[in-house]
Chain A
């Protein structure tokens, strides 16, 4: 997921001003995945929201010495969100991997049974007893069941966390607390933008 651009960042401005601009964009970006990410079937939206939480967390961590407790608290909230969404993503990845593995074992077994019946008109059901991977399916099905259930539990935790964070409007309350903590730096206007030799508007 490509990060949204942050306008009007100037090397000659202050850290406090720049961080507020970056956090405002990153917090809105995080919010933009709701309500899609609150649908349990929208794993892509949940994955993208995790990346957005990570981006927000890292900028708040850098800002913490300058913007103190509100930045630290915001970073912790973003980290909690990132963690639960990361665990959901891990379940999704492992589920997909397990399904691919089962399909591979099934194909291997079918081929082995077919090869053993070369020249026969049909295959007896007893032939399945000799399938090389026959002892493996049970564990992989248990794993699929467990991961599906765990994902559902983690998803409920994510929804609960988000509802708590968003009770007063996540981005708005974060920005208000950061503004209160910051010593306001000089406003940056368009004519103060960095020279063309510098990188344009950060994709921070």
Chain B
């Protein structure tokens, strides 16, 4: 899992609004820095990294909520939540499949058919999750979420 990027210039005496701007800028760059290749089910770490980064961004938005103008904040937070939900819909079956693979390795061979039948169901769910994530990423691009978040962060400096 990718470590969180350090947020530059934070001190206890930093103005709360300036800390909000720095945190949301850093976390936004982090999310979109992980966007490449997330639809590749052969490399499940990518979607995991983007999901964790999205959670951190959402958390930063919520912590610093009073620093942002209400309307664009609500819209951006809603879009970040929607992206997080879509990442979760893909990531949850990824995690369950990884776990089942580990379990199956330790089980008796005669247990394999049962575990595999559950895994097959999870792979179908993973494919559905990937389609949902693809649509969510398209919505994020078309809605220019990254730019809106950067502008929102800048507002907190005023």
Chain A contacts to B: CB under 8 angstroms: 3, 9-19, 22, 54-55, 58-59, 61-62, 65-67, 90, 93-94, 97-98, 101, 105, 133, 135-143, 146, 181-183, 185, 194, 197-204
Chain B contacts to A: CB under 8 angstroms: 4, 6-7, 10-17, 19-20, 23, 55-56, 59-60, 62-70, 73-74, 92, 95-96, 99, 103, 107-108, 110-118, 121, 156
Q: Could you tell me if A200 and B66 are in contact, using CB atoms closer than 8 angstroms? A: yes
Q: Could you tell me if B62 and A203 are in contact, using CB atoms closer than 8 angstroms? A: yes
Is the contact region of chain B dominated by helix, strand, or loop, or is it mixed? helix
- Sample of 30 A–B contacts (CB below 8 Å): A10-B66, A11-B66, A18-B16, A19-B12, A58-B59, A58-B60, A61-B4, A62-B7, A62-B10, A65-B7, A65-B10, A66-B11, A67-B12, A94-B96, A98-B118, A105-B117, A136-B114, A138-B110, A139-B116, A143-B114, A143-B118, A146-B107, A194-B67, A197-B69, A198-B69, A199-B67, A200-B65, A202-B62, A204-B62, A204-B63
Q: Could you tell me if A58 and B63 are in contact, using CB atoms closer than 8 angstroms? A: yes
Q: Identify which of B13, B74, B113, B118 contacts A185 (C-beta below 8 A).
A: B13
Q: Could you tell me if A12 and B10 are in contact, using CB atoms closer than 8 angstroms? A: no
Is the contact region of chain A dominated by helix, strand, or loop, or is it mixed? helix
Q: Report Cα–Cα, A12/B64, bound state, in Å.
A: 12
Q: Could you tell me if B15 and A15 are in contact, using CB atoms closer than 8 angstroms? A: yes
Q: Report Cα–Cα, A183/B11, bound state, in Å.
A: 9
Q: Could you tell me if B107 and A15 are in contact, using CB atoms closer than 8 angstroms? A: no
Q: Could you tell me if B65 and A66 are in contact, using CB atoms closer than 8 angstroms? A: no
CB-CB under 8 A from B59, the residues of chain A are 55, 58-59, 62, 204
Q: Could you tell me if A15 and B11 are in contact, using CB atoms closer than 8 angstroms? A: yes
A87 CB → nearest B CB, Å: 10
Do A14 and B15 form a contact, CB below 8 Å, given A62-B60, A94-B96?
A: yes
CB-CB under 8 A from A136, the residues of chain B are 113-114, 117
CB-CB under 8 A from A11, the residues of chain B are 15-17, 20, 66-67, 156
